[in-house]
């Protein structure tokens, strides 16, 4: 794999920071911020997206009453069969086949019956995507170990990082829904196409984008060594120290996504492979390199988490709804 030069990586990192601040920042403004030609800035942004350094800005509805979604983590006999079935189910907006504690993850617009042992289910909270710090994996693990060591349970004060709006209402009409589906997986899409495809005025589109933070979570994710270099994991925690756990895993250099289902805190993270599991091709001789399991052990021993589970996401399917 060809490793980008340090100046190029610095530009990619800066693009992530700019997109995190303003997901629809123009190429012209990016070129000014980076001090490079507009054509170079355009090419660098395309490279960031196409090669998997940065995800295209996405949006997800917050947990208002009219947007309520239900998540299910299930252990079933034939996850592939259900995976194929739910691709055709309009109630299901996302589903994935996994390994470990559960082998199927389903997100649905309404409560559904699923064949198998439902291990965890309930309405989801809002999402929280951490801003990925600019440091190495080794540094992140060192920082996390130090934070666990210094953490005092008696001094903990909750921040309320993850929000829920299950009993709150928000105005939302058919045009809002069209715009949401249009921008769901790429918030940088051009407004001009909306006028041509849906006959929605540019003013309506601009006004909708202005109110977007009120009704949707905006997500920009960063992967300093490309997304393909990491494994996607789901971690499920039972904890009375939710915000500390969120802050702790926000130290990871890849963008961590957090949400809640029932009373459990869930982390969706792209993790350095050798930090979680041994590699059959190049076995890890030193168990100290299995950073995440050791961190989990420390969290349990100190009483910061009561229980934990994890699963590897093998493949998934998401709908525009």
Residue 281 has pLDDT above 50, yes or no: no
**Residue 277: band (very low, low, confident or very high) from pLDDT cuts 50, 70, 90:** low
Q: What are the domain boundaries of the chain?
A: 6-54, 61-123, 128-163+221-314, 165-219
Residue 84: its H or E element: helix 79-86
- Report percent pLDDT > 70 for the chain: 93
Mean pLDDT of all residues in 9-16: 95
Q: How far is CA 198 from the centre of its chain?
A: 29
Mean pLDDT of all residues in 66-72: 95
- Report percent pLDDT > 90 for the chain: 80
Tally: H helices and E strands in the chain: 10, 11
- From 2.60.40, 1.10.10, 3.40.50, 1.10.287, which CATH number describes the 6-54 domain? 1.10.10
Higher pLDDT, 118 or 274: 118
Distance CA 97, CA 132 (A): 26
* 3 state SS of 24: coil
- From 2.30.30, 1.10.287, 3.40.50, 3.30.70, which CATH number describes the 61-123 domain? 3.30.70
Mean pLDDT for the chain overall: 91
Give pTM, 2 decimals. Answer: 0.91
Mean pLDDT of all residues in 291-312: 91
* CB 257, CB 128: distance < 8 Å: yes
Residue 140 has pLDDT above 80, yes or no: yes
Sheet strands (E) in the chain: 58-61, 70-75, 92-100, 104-108, 117-123, 128-129, 216-219, 230-239, 257-261, 264-272, 305-318
**Residue 320: band (very low, low, confident or very high) from pLDDT cuts 50, 70, 90:** confident
What is the phi-psi region of residue 262: left when phi exceeds 0, alpha when psi lies from -120 to 50, beta otherwise?
left
**Residue 58: band (very low, low, confident or very high) from pLDDT cuts 50, 70, 90:** very high
Tokens of 52: 């998997």
Cβ neighbours of 290 (radius 10 Å)? 17
Query: What's the pLDDT at 286?
Result: 36
The span from the first CA to the last CA of the chain, in angstroms, equals: 36
Best CA proximity match to 96, nearest among 318, 264, 321, 319: 318
**Residue 244: band (very low, low, confident or very high) from pLDDT cuts 50, 70, 90:** very high
Q: pLDDT tens digits, residue range 157-170?
A: 999 999 999 999 99
Q: pLDDT tens digits, residue range 102-129?
A: 999 999 999 999 989 999 999 999 999 9
Higher pLDDT, 1 or 204: 204
Residue 290 has pLDDT above 60, yes or no: no
């Amino acid at each position: 794999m060809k490793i980008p030069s340090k100046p190029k990586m610095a530009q990619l990192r800066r693009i992530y920071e700019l997109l995190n601040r303003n997901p629809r920042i123009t190429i012209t403004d990016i070129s000014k911020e980076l001090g490079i030609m507009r054509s170079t800035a355009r090419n660098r942004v395309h490279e960031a997206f196409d090669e998997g350094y940065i995800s295209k800005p996405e949006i997800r509805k917050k947990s208002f009453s009219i947007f309520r979604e239900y998540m299910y983590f299930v252990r079933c006999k034939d996850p592939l069969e259900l995976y194929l079935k739910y691709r055709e189910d309009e109630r299901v907006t996302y589903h994935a086949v996994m390994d470990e504690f559960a082998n199927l993850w389903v997100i649905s617009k309404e409560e559904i019956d699923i064949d198998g042992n439902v291990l965890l289910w309930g309405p989801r909270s809002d999402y929280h995507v951490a801003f990925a710090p600019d440091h190495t994996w080794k540094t992140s693990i060192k920082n996390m170990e130090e934070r666990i060591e210094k953490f005092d349970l008696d001094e903990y004060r909750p921040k309320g990082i993850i929000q829920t709006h299950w009993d709150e209402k928000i105005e939302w009409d058919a045009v809002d829904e069209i715009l949401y589906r249009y921008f769901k997986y790429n918030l940088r899409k051009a407004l001009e196409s909306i006028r041509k495809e849906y006959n929605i005025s540019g003013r309506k589109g601009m006004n909708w984008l202005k109110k977007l933070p009120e009704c949707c979570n905006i997500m920009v994710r960063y992967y300093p060594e490309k997304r393909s270099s990491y494994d996607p994991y789901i971690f499920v925690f039972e904890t009375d120290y939710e915000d500390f756990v969120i802050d702790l895993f926000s130290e990871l250099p890849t963008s961590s996504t957090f949400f809640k289902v029932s009373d459990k805190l869930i982390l969706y993270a792209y993790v350095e492979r050798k930090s979680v599991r041994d590699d059959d091709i190049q076995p890890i001789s030193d168990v100290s390199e299995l950073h995440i399991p050791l961190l989990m052990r420390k969290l349990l021993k100190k009483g910061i988490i009561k229980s934990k589970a994890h699963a590897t996401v093998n493949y998934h399917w998401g709908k525009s709804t």
